[in-house]
Chain A
Amino acid sequence: EAQVTQNPRYLITVTGKKLTVTCSQNMNHEYMSWYRQDPGLGLRQIYYSMNVEVTDKGDVPEGYKVSRKEKRNFPLILESPSPNQTSLYFCASSWGAGGHGFNEQFFGPGTRLTVL
């Protein structure tokens, strides 16, 4: 089954304790992205990756890091989480990243993070 998976689905942590949210897709997609969803603010892009070893900042990158060492994986790293990073996080992937036209983004099931 073609899908984007995220782990963990739920996480409660404390301020300053480093954490990683994993994202993996099995569709051989080039483009991957992380979003956060907050009430009243919709979905905002954190980071995106055009391909392996190519990443760039989205609209709200502060406090986050990403890496893309393999095509299928795109982990989101919070090195020192703070309460304002409490949110619902989504990973997404798509076949292409532009040039030939935009492609449908496939979203994972989400990770609900609470930082105390």
Chain B
Amino acid sequence: QQQVKQSPQSLIVQKGGISIINCAYENTAFDYFPWYQQFPGKGPALLIAIRPDVSEKKEGRFTISFNKSAKQFSLHIMDSQPGDSATYFCAASISTGTASKLTFGTGTRLQVTL
């Protein structure tokens, strides 16, 4: 059972364009939604995260948009750069439980072309 569904599986964007990756979740108890960025040969690293009490969080060129009623959240990368080429994972967890278990999406491979 995939509790966090991520799309698209892969994405090609021109330099300077906007990259958009979408995720949908089922468990309404999730209350923490991070995005992880993974470069080839490396482990994932936290990029940006949001809690459901806000609808948007922006850090530099990266923005998370959150729609609690639709149970969806998305990552927007503005002015995409070749250095953004990586695999992106959305995730969700219940942070107030006794064990913070991250449930990951299936990943999106982003390629930013020149």
State the CA gap A101–B93 with chains docked (Å).
10
Q: Does A107 contact B93, Cβ atoms closer than 8 Å? A: no
* Closest A residue to B1 using CB positions: A59
Q: Does B100 contact A107, Cβ atoms closer than 8 Å? A: no
| Cβ contacts under 8 Å, B93 to chain A | 102
Q: Mark each residue of chain B from 40 to 76: 1 if its CB lies under 8 Å from any CB of chain A, else 0.
A: 0111111001000000000000000000000000000
The answer to the question of A34 belonging to the interface, with a C-beta cut-off of 8 Å to chain B, is: no
| Cβ contacts under 8 Å, A35 to chain B | 104
Q: Given B44, B94, B106, which contacts A41 in the complex, CB threshold below 8 Å?
A: B106
Q: Given A31, A42, A110, which contacts B89 in the complex, CB threshold below 8 Å?
A: A42
The answer to the question of A68 belonging to the interface, with a C-beta cut-off of 8 Å to chain B, is: no
State the CA gap A103–B101 with chains docked (Å).
11
The answer to the question of A74 belonging to the interface, with a C-beta cut-off of 8 Å to chain B, is: no
Q: Mark each residue of chain A from 55 to 89: 1 if its CB lies under 8 Å from any CB of chain B, else 0.
A: 01010000000000000000000000000000000
State the CA gap A108–B45 with chains docked (Å).
9
The answer to the question of B27 belonging to the interface, with a C-beta cut-off of 8 Å to chain A, is: no
B residues sitting closer than 8 Å to A (CB atoms) are: 6, 9, 32, 34, 41-46, 49, 89, 93-102, 104-107
7 A-B pairs with least C-beta separation = A107-B43, A102-B95, A98-B100, A42-B106, A43-B104, A42-B104, A102-B100
- Sample of 19 further A-B pairs with CB below 8 A, known A42-B106, A101-B32: A40-B9, A42-B6, A42-B105, A48-B99, A48-B101, A50-B99, A92-B43, A94-B100, A97-B100, A98-B94, A98-B96, A98-B97, A99-B96, A99-B98, A102-B93, A105-B46, A106-B45, A109-B43, A110-B41
